[in-house]
């Protein structure tokens, strides 16, 4: 059996130099995101979201990016969830996209705020029916006695809303993350990776710097 310490991969596919990068960080993100989609990576919109509790305890989980609008990253969740409770107390969050097949990751720090009710409702009704019912059935992050409890609630809701519109729950909606820094990481050989960091300036322009790997 191989030692964990011996598991390694040398990255050789590409590079990221300053003259390759766009002056706008969100434009650069869109370029890389489009390339991840073109590479047919499974769920390229999957991103790790890190939040911090009022006690200073960090939590990370994978959520799905559901839009990029006006320079902000959008995702949706239950406002009863641990992530939402953390954000309400401390809106500073971090996001990470890792696209291994193209040897890239993007590390983002930013500030989260709730979407409007109208925006959340529009997205909610674009979801499959099962997902809409699931939002009602799940009191996300709460303890439940068994899977059967969840399945029974889904069945009950399915009957309740048979042939009718499922309303948006009061406890469900979205967040917009306005980035303060975005780092683009391109894997290179011998762990000498390319790291370019954009930092938002007071006038909303971006300062570009290279970081040592």
Cα separation of 108 and 184, whole Å?
Answer: 9
For every residue of 19-46, DSSP letters joined together read GGS-SSHHHHHHHHHHHHHHTT-SSTTE
191 labelled catalytic: yes
Contact between 108 and 179 (Cβ < 8 Å): yes
Cα separation of 121 and 15, whole Å?
Answer: 41
For every residue of 106-137, DSSP letters joined together read EEEEEEEEEPPHHHHHHHHTTS-HHHHHHHHH
User: What element of type H or E holds 95?
Assistant: strand 92-99
Q: Annotated catalytic residue: which of 117, 156, 191, 210?
A: 191
**Active-site residue set:** 191
């Amino acid at each position: 059996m191989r030692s964990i310490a011996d598991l390694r991969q040398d990255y050789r596919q590409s590079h990221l130099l300053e003259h390759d990068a766009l002056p706008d960080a969100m434009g650069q993100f869109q370029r890389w995101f489009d390339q991840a989609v073109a590479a047919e990576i499974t769920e390229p919109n999957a991103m790790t979201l890190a939040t911090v509790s009022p006690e200073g305890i960090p939590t990370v989980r994978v959520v799905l990016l559901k839009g990029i609008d006006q320079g902000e990253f959008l995702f949706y969740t239950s406002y009863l969830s641990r992530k939402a409770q953390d954000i309400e107390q401390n809106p500073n969050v971090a996001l990470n996209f890792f696209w291994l097949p193209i040897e890239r990751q993007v590390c983002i720090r930013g500030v989260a705020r709730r979407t409007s009710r109208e925006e959340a409702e529009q997205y909610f009704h674009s979801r499959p029916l099962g997902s809409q019912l699931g939002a009602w059935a799940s009191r996300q992050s709460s303890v439940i006695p068994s899977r059967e409890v969840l399945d029974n609630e889904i069945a009950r809701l399915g009957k309740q809303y048979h042939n009718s519109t499922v309303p948006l729950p009061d406890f469900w909606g979205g967040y917009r993350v306005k980035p303060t820094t975005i780092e683009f990481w391109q894997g290179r050989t011998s762990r000498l990776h390319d790291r370019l960091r954009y930092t938002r300036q007071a006038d909303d322009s971006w300062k570009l710097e290279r970081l040592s790997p």
